Amino acid sequence: MEIWINPACSKCRSAVQLLDAEGADYTVRRYLEDVPGEDEIREVLTRLGLEPWDIARTQEAAAKELGLKEWPRDAGSRDRWIRALAEHPRLIQRPIITADDGTAVVARSDEAVRDALSRT
């Protein structure tokens, strides 16, 4: 199991604390430093069962600069969204846990973290 975190994010810190409390075996990835590429983002989206706009943080400064809220949310725009997430990793919703069973969850709540733990 791997968790993508931004250490400055309270939701990320809470998720890590819960994983520790549960004795989970996991790897921490500071995704702002170890930035996922476009192919990796595609893989995680498949595991999540989501589209790139579903995990985009549209309130971030970079999102506003790019005009992300106005971008089309359709198959023809998918690669553009993925490219933006790879070029501006702050736009990626966090934390994301990739579970051992091949799925993933956006772990913004204790329930979501426990869901990921149940998938090991």
- Which residues are known to be catalytic? 9
Is the CB of residue 53 less than 8 Å from the CB of residue 30? no
Sign of CA dihedral 29, 2, 86, 105: negative
Cα Rg of the chain (Å, integer):
14
Distance CA 25, CA 10 (A): 21
**Integer Cα distance of 65 and 79 in angstroms:** 18
